[in-house]
Structure 1
Amino acid sequence: MIKWIIAAEILFWVAILAGLFARYVLHRKRLSYLLFLLTPIIDLALIALTVVDLQSGAVATIAHGVSVIYIGVSIAYGKTMIAWADDKFQTYILKKESAKKPLYGTEKGLHELKMWGRHVLAYAIGSVMFWLIITLINSNSTEALFNVWRIWSIALLIDGGISLSYLLFPKRAQSR
């Protein structure tokens, strides 16, 4: 299963880089959209492989759980990841100055809470997927999925505390 996760991750980033190349180097905006649209298809293929693997008798492993997390994160953060890759592509490949400015104070705190909100969305999507798979498989061999979900639950709470700390203890701009 781990090989499918690695393949999906590689294909995900290849599709994004190809989309950025099509957009900025080839100046083919519609082609870039088509390439970006491949990313959710890659995600769906990964979840389908996970379900097929488990239905054919495989014992659930941490890798199966990671594939479910991957889906939630990819859906919740997909647009953000593409925007990040777009900024990096323009900065390092096209040698343009990044339009992104550092955030400080309340603005940074609100941004971190917004990112935590994306984490909550990823967790909600992943949780639904976890429970659907556990119910669909209807086997005693899904304990690993439940354990991965529990660890993710703890990570979500820790991330929420860290995100909130940016509001309680705001990051200040460095004086020159």
Structure 2
Amino acid sequence: MIVALIIACEVGFWVLLAAGLGLRYLARMPRLGAAVLLCEPLMELALLVVTTLDLKNGAEPDWKHGLAALYIGYTVGYGHYTIKWLDGHAAHRLAGGPKPAGAGYGKARAVHEWKLWVRTVVAAAVALGLLQVAIWYVGDAGDVSSLEAWQFGALRAVGIHALVAVAYTIWPKKAPAGEEERPVLAKTER
């Protein structure tokens, strides 16, 4: 049931996103579109409640509970960023807004990658916290090795993402001929 709910949350995220952006830019109802977009965190709350109830009702902690924690963590770390990024592209494509800035080159790209890494740290911290609470909740009554493995996975993701950011710092991406290196994401990442 938890896997089905995770899939439903992911599908629901994209459906709400499409509906919110459609209302905002195609139907010219920006407030209603924003209200639809604000409903998205309710799905993660439902996932958290269902996962907690599943453990409370005696379910053996396994990979599904770990995946739910990582999904919620990812949503906390990257959800707003993803919505804002897609909103900029929708404004450009559907409402004639300015073309959104890309990740850039050189130092600007390295800074962008480090900012994304911070989001990954936030996502991992939320997931680690949820997993630790689940481990404490289950206690000695069950096997929590699966949840501990997911904690290690979250930490591994932080480490791998740090290596990506380090790579962009040491070997910066060069701008194509004719384009200049410029700080492009300063306004859109706040």
TM over 0.5: yes
CA distance in 1, matches of 2:124, 2:66: 12
- 2:171 maps to a residue whose letter is F
1:145 to 140, 144, 147: 147
Q: What's the offset of the Cα at 1:168? A: 1.1
Q: Secondary structure at the match of 2:175?
A: coil
The 5 Å alignment of 1:24-63 reads: 24-63=25-64
Q: Secondary structure at the match of 1:100?
A: coil
CA distance in 1, matches of 2:80, 2:128: 20
CA shift digits 1:22-41 (9 cap, x unpaired) = 11111112211211111111
Q: How many residues end up aligned between the 2 structures? A: 176
1:172 to 163, 169, 174: 174
Matched, 1:69 2:66: no
- 1:14 maps to a residue whose letter is V
- 1:32 maps to a residue whose letter is G
The 5 Å alignment of 1:1-12 reads: 1-12=2-13
CA distance in 2, matches of 1:169, 1:82: 29
Q: Residue 124 and residue 100 in structure 1: after superposition, are their counterparts in 2 closer, same or farther (change >3 A)?
A: same
CA distance in 2, matches of 1:65, 1:93: 38
- 1:131 maps to a residue whose letter is Q
CA distance in 2, matches of 1:99, 1:153: 32
CA distance in 2, matches of 1:142, 1:98: 48
Percent identity reads 30
CA distance in 2, matches of 1:55, 1:158: 34
Q: Secondary structure at the match of 1:141?
A: coil
Q: What's the offset of the Cα at 1:99? A: 2.0
In the alignment, structure 1 segments of 5+ residues that lack a partner are none
The 5 Å alignment of 1:9-28 reads: 9-28=10-29
- 1:9 maps to a residue whose letter is E
In the alignment, structure 2 segments of 5+ residues that lack a partner are 179-190
- 2:124 maps to a residue whose letter is Y
Give the TM-score of the pair, scaled to structure 1. 0.91
Q: Which segment drifts farther, 138-147 or 46-55?
A: 138-147
CA distance in 2, matches of 1:156, 1:4: 25
Structure with the higher helix share, 1 or 2: 1
